[in-house]
Amino acid sequence: MTRAPARTPRSRHTLTLTAAVAAVTLAGALPAGAASPAAHPQGCSVRTLQGDFGGNYSGTSAGTGPLAFQGLVTFNGDGTATAKATLMSETSGPTSITAVIDYTLKRDCTGTMTSQRSNGQTIHYVFTVVADGTELALLQTDPGFVVTARLTRVRRG
């Protein structure tokens, strides 16, 4: 029976350092939440988003403090969508809202979204399509808000 050579402290250090450098290199190659080119070999377009995507939004508002909402967005595959959600904040109980949405989506699978809510608010997001078009990672870009969301496809359009 042959034994594997014993690892010296130096060889373990080298292996650990190599793994750490590889992880940092890979992490720096793609922004957080970005889709890898292999995930979307043909790239994205507004047609990439079709069907229903659901999920939770959470964050904070300078005006209301912590907030959260759960929503369902129906993408039409043409740069438009509709949404319905229930919003909770520190200053108000459950509030149902609907929205009409316009969005753009670049070939690199990043986009922008403008949501006209039924309560009169206009909200802006940047987003990235991930997981082969089955998920969206969103960030609200309006001053006074720090809100993020992760939406997952629940029905294909």
Per DSSP, the residues of 71-97 read: EEEEEESSSEEEEEEEEEESS---EEE
Report how far residue 144's alpha carbon sits from residue 66's, in angstroms, rounded to the nearest whole number. Answer: 12
If you average pLDDT over every residue of the chain, what do you get?
81
pLDDT tens for the chain, 157 residues: list them.
555 445 444 433 333 333 333 333 333 333 444 444 434 567 999 999 999 999 999 999 999 899 999 999 999 999 999 999 999 998 888 999 999 999 999 999 999 999 999 999 999 999 999 998 999 999 999 999 999 999 999 998 7
Q: What is the pLDDT of residue 1?
A: 52
Report how far residue 127's alpha carbon sits from residue 151's, in angstroms, rounded to the nearest whole number. Answer: 10
DSSP β-bridge partners for residue 115: 101, 123
3-state secondary structure of 129: strand
Kindly report the backbone phi and psi dihedral angles of residue 63, in degrees, each rounded to the nearest multiple of 5, phi listed first.
-85, -30
The residue count of the chain comes to 157
H/E segment holding residue 54: strand 50-61
Q: Which residues contact 73 (CB under 8 A, 6 or more apart)?
A: 52, 53, 54, 81, 82, 83, 101, 151
Say if CB 71 and CB 83 are below 8 A apart.
yes
